[in-house]
Amino acid sequence: MPRFLPGGDFRARRRVLTSEDFAYAPNPARPASDVIDKGTWESIVTLPDDVAVRSSDYHGTAFAQLNDLWGAWVECLDGPKSSLSTAMLDAADDFQAATYAALTGFYRLSIAALRSALELVAIGTWAELCNTHDEFNRWREGKAVLSFGRACDGLIAATESLRNQLRATVNDSLFDQKDSAGEGGFARRIFSGISDFSHSRPGSADGDMRGSHGPIYVRSALEHAAWIHFEVIGLCFVLVLVARPKLAMPPCVTDLFADVSRVKSKVTRAAFEELSGTNR
């Protein structure tokens, strides 16, 4: 039977925010009017709560790093509103959701949220770098169609110098199209890979990752989802630097790229070093 956590465990009790915790909350919260019954509540939260406790028992460092990187992402949002900052704001929700989904055992959904973040940031970077703000705004209004591939196509020509540097140093690229000679640039390769999880393709469903239906803690699945998260947010920071090369990166981002176990992609690390000047 399920048991309660010991009272001394900080995870044992839930906290709710008050109106003073919000930056803008002009009206008092409405009194509760339709409270969920105990059985329904427990049916929804018991398994995810169990996974969250087990995950945080064994992977506290990884979750702290992911949370720090989400905070760094939000920190980089400071500045005037633009196409890229709009995309980054939406991606911040995806990164936070990806961390929470992984914590609670929804590994496929965690990776699917990362696909959304990568697509948003690529489109925002393309709009910023290629001055296609009008088309970006029409897309935001639902009046135009934009895609990850379209953004990558535009970024190929706009980043020719970086492309040549990456070819010379690591014999790879970020945005190149797939052809008979290869699978394309790293951004396209990882986007293709995580798309399998978004569409629950064979081998990429939660049941495949966990060997079970319903959320349970699986070390290998959590570690895989966390690694993809590190790779994707690292690539997204590179995309931000492509559009804003003078932006100072928070220390936890520099630490991320110094850790080969978190960012294994040589081309992503090489691009970060070139754009941030950490190799000079």
The pair of three-digit structure tokens given for residue 79, joined into one six-digit string: 């500045």
* Residue found by looking up tokens 């049916």 in the block: 43
Closest of 82, 171, 86, 68 to residue 129, by C-alpha: 82
Looking at the chain, how many residues does it have? Answer: 280
**No. of H helices and E strands in the chain?**
12, 0
Element housing 128 (H / E)? helix 107-129
Q: For residues 79 and 121, what is the distance between their CA atoms, to the nearest angstrom? A: 16
pLDDT given at position 183: 85
Contact 46, 5 (CB under 8 A): no
Instruction: Read off the pLDDT of residues 203-260 as tens digits, 9 standing for 90 and up.
Output: 999 889 988 888 999 999 999 999 999 999 999 999 999 999 989 999 999 999 999 9
Of 18 and 24, more confident: 18
How many other CB atoms are there within 10 angstroms of residue 3's CB atom? 5
Closest of 119, 125, 187, 124 to residue 148, by C-alpha: 119
pLDDT given at position 141: 96
Sign of CA dihedral 233, 239, 241, 247: negative
Q: For residues 202 and 205, what is the distance between their CA atoms, to the nearest angstrom? A: 7
Q: For residues 241 and 68, what is the distance between their CA atoms, to the nearest angstrom? A: 19
Instruction: Read off the pLDDT of residues 161-176 as tens digits, 9 standing for 90 and up.
Output: 999 999 999 999 999 9
What is the Rg, in whole angstroms, of the alpha carbon atoms belonging to the chain?
Answer: 21
Instruction: Read off the pLDDT of residues 26-75 as tens digits, 9 standing for 90 and up.
Output: 777 788 999 999 999 999 999 999 999 999 999 999 999 999 999 999 99
Contact 100, 226 (CB under 8 A): no
Angle (nearest 5°) at CA 200 between 199 and 205: 155
| pLDDT at position 80 over 80 | no
pLDDT given at position 278: 67
Q: For residues 222 and 225, what is the distance between their CA atoms, to the nearest angstrom? A: 5
| pLDDT at position 102 over 90 | yes
84-96: average pLDDT: 98
Model confidence at 78, pLDDT cuts 50, 70, 90, reads confident
**pTM score above 0.75:** yes
